[in-house]
Amino acid sequence: MASKNLEVQNLQTDVVVVGGGGAACRAAIEVAERGQNCIMVDKGRPGRSGATPCALWSIQAPFGPRGRDERDSPEQFFEDMVRAGRFIGDQNIVEVVAFTACDRILDMERYGVKFRKYEDGRFYQTPMPGQTYPRSCFMYENGQHMSTVLAKEVSRHKNITVYKDFFVFGLLKNDGVVVGIIGIDMISGQIITINSKSTVIATGGYTSLWGFSDNPPTLTGDSLSMAFRAGAELVDLEFNQYYGTDVIWPPSVKGTVVLYELMIEEFANGEITDKNGVPIIDKPLPIRDEAIKIIFNVIKEGRGTEHSGVWYDTTKSPKGEAAVREVFETMTPKHYHFLIDAAGIDIAKQPIEVAPASHYQCGGIYINEKGQTSLEGLYACGECAGNFQGANRLAGSALCDTQTMGAQAGKYAAEDSKKRDIIPPEKSSIDEHLDMLKNFLSEKKTKTRPIFLKEEILKAMDEYVAPFRSKEGLEKGLSIIEGVRKEVEKIHVPDVGRYNLELREAIETRLAVDAAELTIGAALFRTESRGHHNRIDYPEQDDKNWRCHTIISNDGGKPVYSKRDVIYTRLKPEDVK
Amino acid sequence: MENIIKAKIYRYNPDRDKEPYFQDYEVPIDRRVTVHEFLNIIHRDIDGTLAFRTYKCYKGSCSLCVVKLNGKVVKSCSTPLNPGEEITIEPAGGGEVIRDLVVDFNAM
């Protein structure tokens, strides 16, 4: 890339899919199977980057008689998801997830994903908190295996072209319609626009806007900023799910997930304890929003460990070390060995310090049951899409969503593209992005490096936008973010074409500022406590005023926050005791 | 033991450099770190121009972070270093070097 002359290469296709994780792969496969051409662009490498490879074994599907417990059903899955989401997930979308989950898992099996089965062929399923019947299908080698298989399936389709190391930073429009994306091929430094008939965003969440996160550092909410700037509605960003037991010490393995769900009698039968070894989480295990509250409170009361965590301890398990090791070797083999290799810690024979960390974006881009956003031509699926997990997500719902809503968004994006012509983007829509690049590359008197700005954002989010938050703290956080926004203008990056890591960091920081501001805005707007959003100044759940979505819309570049009714189909809150 | 790790790191930008070369770094470190952390520390505190893959999967399985450490291919996220060590880091091979430690995925 030469800064004086930012030449733009243009590509065209029917459907462009942004992302390379589970949802993006599934959407692209669906587009291809419907006969449309597809370009899939991934910031890293499909099958090996994004959040899906970090996932564990658990993908929910109500197989009933074909699984572990014949009493299970899509209706029960639907109800469990709605209840866990504290009744603010849109049920038209939850229905798609619950009622198509089994079919999508059979698709995965057809692609080559290996599931653990009983001898008679039924799906083996693990019980997870919040599931009325054990519903989590078990993938050997966990999310990494799933990602690799899906990426391989993508590569079998001749009408999908994959661009790796391709960082998308903007949506292109013409007269209010989304007509593609703009990004940079990191390998060559070439700026590329992809002009499409429909566009699917499947870029994962914003969880690494927080410094203590168990997600890859690349997940800082790019798509929220892009969608907002293009004018798409966002929803429920205040609900960032924390996971209760991520490693907090030592730093070399900070953020590694060790599952509290493995502490039940069927598995490791250990305990989460305070600094004195006193168990703090009762069995049956609570669901995630309840688990994190218990752990946060123990730490707040001064019963936490040296590094502000609690102990994940299997050493007193009545099963003994060998049996516990067998559980880790079978259920989460990669994580188990990683902790030994990187930190010298064998969790089958010594406790490890854990604490709640940023884990999953429950809200996101507002969609309907077809994966359509509020903008014509734009679809979203996977973690970056909102309004169906509600205020809290069940174990096994994230991967399940990637496949169910991934296929759905792919289907409607493909069908939509059959009816449309290619419309080129407005010049102004490209120019605004080129201006951003030119500014980063131009010489400046004071040079700011993006990495330090990003650190400020992450620190502010950790400090003021953790699951327990207040008006005062959120306003402090917001003023820090506003300060960072001014500094972004001063970023200077060297004009290097090939793999310009500093430029990627600079653009990510700019997008992260938006995502952080909108998240804090949503958290300030909702004056109640629900799921993963706990306002210490409004500690009660307020169903009268707040059993609704927080909608963020773009009014001339400024965010406007409003309420919108939740869509109830099968289960109205008033019908539940 | 000195609280320092000395590293020779492979640098190459095919657009600008005739030949690859090694750059010497002396990094103050007082605890055990992984190679991936070590590269992040250099990038943050010493030399922002060093290119490498920052992605991590937290379980040593994506292999995006592989590099050659003292001639041997390792996953940088799960390979520890200790203060006092003197090391050489090169790209993992198996594909064209895009810049410094970044190898083109298409050949992987």
User: Model confidence over A102-117: pLDDT tens digits?
Assistant: 999 999 999 999 999 9
- Boundaries of every domain in chain A: 242-358, 427-565
Q: Which residues pair with A177 in a beta bridge?
A: A174
Q: Which helix (H) or strand (E) holds A551?
A: strand A548-555
CA nearest to B14 within chain A: A498
CA distance B97 to chain A (A): 10
Write out pLDDT tens, residues B13-44.
Answer: 999 999 999 999 999 999 999 999 999 999 99
State the pLDDT at residue A426: 96
Structure tokens at A150: 């899906």
Exposure string of A230-251, with b = 16+ CB inside 10 Å and e = fewer, is: bbbbbbbbbbbbbbbbbbbbbe
Task: Please indicate whether, in this complex, the C-beta atoms of A499 and B98 are within 8 angstroms of each other.
Answer: yes
Task: Out of A217, A497, A500, name the one closest to residue B54 (CB).
Answer: A217
Where residue B25 sits, what CATH number does that domain have? Answer: 3.10.20.30
Q: Cβ contacts (< 8 Å) between A45 and chain B: which residues?
A: 64, 105, 108
User: Is residue B20 domain-resident?
Assistant: yes
Q: Cβ contacts (< 8 Å) between B53 and chain A: which residues?
A: 44
Q: Cβ contacts (< 8 Å) between B15 and chain A: which residues?
A: 496-498
Structure tokens at A469: 């938050």
User: Longest C-alpha distance within chain B, in Å?
Assistant: 42
Measure the CA–CA gap between A449 and B48, rounded to whole angstroms: 8
Q: Which amino acid is present at A291? A: A
What separation in angstroms does the CA of A118 have from each of A125, A138, A262? Answer: 9, 11, 20
Write out pLDDT tens, residues A15-48.
Answer: 999 999 999 999 999 999 999 999 999 999 999 9
User: Is residue B107 domain-resident?
Assistant: no
Residues in Cβ contact with A301 at an 8 Å cutoff, skipping those fewer than 6 apart: none
User: Is residue B15 domain-resident?
Assistant: yes
Nearest one of A439, A570, A543 to A492, comparing CA atoms = A439
B98 falls in which pLDDT band (50, 70, 90)? very high
DSSP string, A53-120: GG--SEEE---GGGSS-TT--HHHHHHHHHHHTTT-S-HHHHHHHHHHHHHHHHHHHHHT--B-B-TT
State the pLDDT at residue A2: 47
Q: Which of A142, A246, A256, A341 should we substitute to test contact with B (largest number of B Cβ atoms within 10 Å)?
A: A341
Q: Which of A252, A502, A503, A507 should we substitute to test contact with B (largest number of B Cβ atoms within 10 Å)?
A: A252
Residues in Cβ contact with A574 at an 8 Å cutoff, skipping those fewer than 6 apart: none
Q: Cβ contacts (< 8 Å) between A334 and chain B: which residues?
A: 59-61
Write out pLDDT tens, residues A58-94.
Answer: 999 999 999 999 999 999 999 999 999 999 999 999 9
User: Is residue B36 domain-resident?
Assistant: yes
Q: Which residues pair with A361 in a beta bridge?
A: A240
Task: Out of B53, B54, B61, name the one closest to residue A53 (CB).
Answer: B61
- In a 3-state reduction of DSSP, which class is residue A39? strand
Q: Please state the pTM of the whole predicted model.
A: 0.97
CA angle, A157 as apex, A151 and A160 as ends, to 5°? 80
Task: Please indicate whether, in this complex, the C-beta atoms of B55 and A255 are within 8 angstroms of each other.
Answer: no
Residues in Cβ contact with A546 at an 8 Å cutoff, skipping those fewer than 6 apart: A526, A527, A528, A530, A563
Note whether B64 contacts A: Cβ–Cβ < 8 A.
Answer: yes
Backbone conformation region of residue A133, classed left if phi is above 0, alpha if psi is from -120 to 50, else beta: beta
The answer to whether A214 touches A253, Cβ cutoff 8 Å, is no
Q: Which amino acid is present at A417? A: S
Task: Please indicate whether, in this complex, the C-beta atoms of B78 and A342 are within 8 angstroms of each other.
Answer: yes
User: Is residue B92 domain-resident?
Assistant: yes
- In a 3-state reduction of DSSP, which class is residue A220? coil
CATH number for A242-358: choose from 3.40.1160.10, 3.90.700.10, 3.40.50.620, 3.40.50.980.
3.90.700.10
Structure tokens at B105: 């995925």
- In a 3-state reduction of DSSP, which class is residue B84? coil
User: Is residue B106 domain-resident?
Assistant: no
Note whether B104 contacts A: Cβ–Cβ < 8 A.
Answer: yes
Domain encompassing residue B55: 4-98
Q: Which residues pair with A271 in a beta bridge?
A: A313
Write out pLDDT tens, residues B35-94.
Answer: 999 999 999 999 999 999 999 898 888 889 999 999 999 999 999 999 999 999 999 987
Task: Out of B15, B31, B51, name the one closest to residue A501 (CB).
Answer: B51
State the pLDDT at residue A496: 87
Measure the CA–CA gap between A531 and A291, rounded to whole angstroms: 11
Residues of A with CB under 8 A from a CB of B: 44-45, 48-49, 53-54, 141, 144, 164-165, 187, 214, 216-218, 250-253, 255-257, 334-335, 337-338, 341-344, 449, 451, 494, 496-502
User: Is residue B74 domain-resident?
Assistant: yes
Note whether B62 contacts A: Cβ–Cβ < 8 A.
Answer: yes
Q: Which of A254, A455, A501, A509 should we substitute to test contact with B (largest number of B Cβ atoms within 10 Å)?
A: A501
Measure the CA–CA gap between A482 and A256, rounded to whole angstroms: 31
Note whether B82 contacts A: Cβ–Cβ < 8 A.
Answer: no
Enter the DSSP assignment of A369. T
Write out pLDDT tens, residues A437-470.
Answer: 999 999 887 778 999 999 999 999 999 999 999 9
Measure the CA–CA gap between A518 and A534, rounded to whole angstroms: 17
Q: Which helix (H) or strand (E) holds A475?
A: helix A471-488
Intra-chain end-to-end CA distance of chain A, in Å: 62
What separation in angstroms does the CA of A541 have from each of A86, A532, A560? Answer: 10, 11, 23
Task: Please indicate whether, in this complex, the C-beta atoms of B80 and A144 are within 8 angstroms of each other.
Answer: no
Task: Please indicate whether, in this complex, the C-beta atoms of B33 and A252 are within 8 angstroms of each other.
Answer: yes
CA distance B32 to chain A (A): 8
Task: Please indicate whether, in this complex, the C-beta atoms of B57 and A216 are within 8 angstroms of each other.
Answer: yes
Q: Which amino acid is present at A245? A: T
User: Is residue B78 domain-resident?
Assistant: yes
CA nearest to B34 within chain A: A252
CA distance A393 to chain B (A): 21
Enter the DSSP assignment of A229. H
| Sequence-ordered alpha helix ranges (H) in B1-108 | 35-41
Q: Which residues pair with B6 in a beta bridge?
A: B26, B86
B2 falls in which pLDDT band (50, 70, 90)? confident
Task: Please indicate whether, in this complex, the C-beta atoms of A494 and B49 are within 8 angstroms of each other.
Answer: yes
Task: Please indicate whether, in this complex, the C-beta atoms of B48 and A451 are within 8 angstroms of each other.
Answer: yes
Q: Cβ contacts (< 8 Å) between A354 and chain B: which residues?
A: none
State the pLDDT at residue A5: 62
Domains: count for chain B: 1
Q: Give the pLDDT means over successive 10-residue stretches in chain A (577 positions).
A: 72 98 98 98 93 94 98 98 97 98 98 97 96 96 94 97 96 97 95 98 98 96 98 98 96 95 96 97 94 96 97 97 97 95 96 98 98 98 97 95 98 98 96 95 86 97 96 98 96 91 96 98 98 97 98 97 98 87
Task: Out of B13, B32, B57, name the one closest to residue A496 (CB).
Answer: B13
| A427-565 under CATH 1.20.58.100, yes or no | yes
Note whether B19 contacts A: Cβ–Cβ < 8 A.
Answer: no
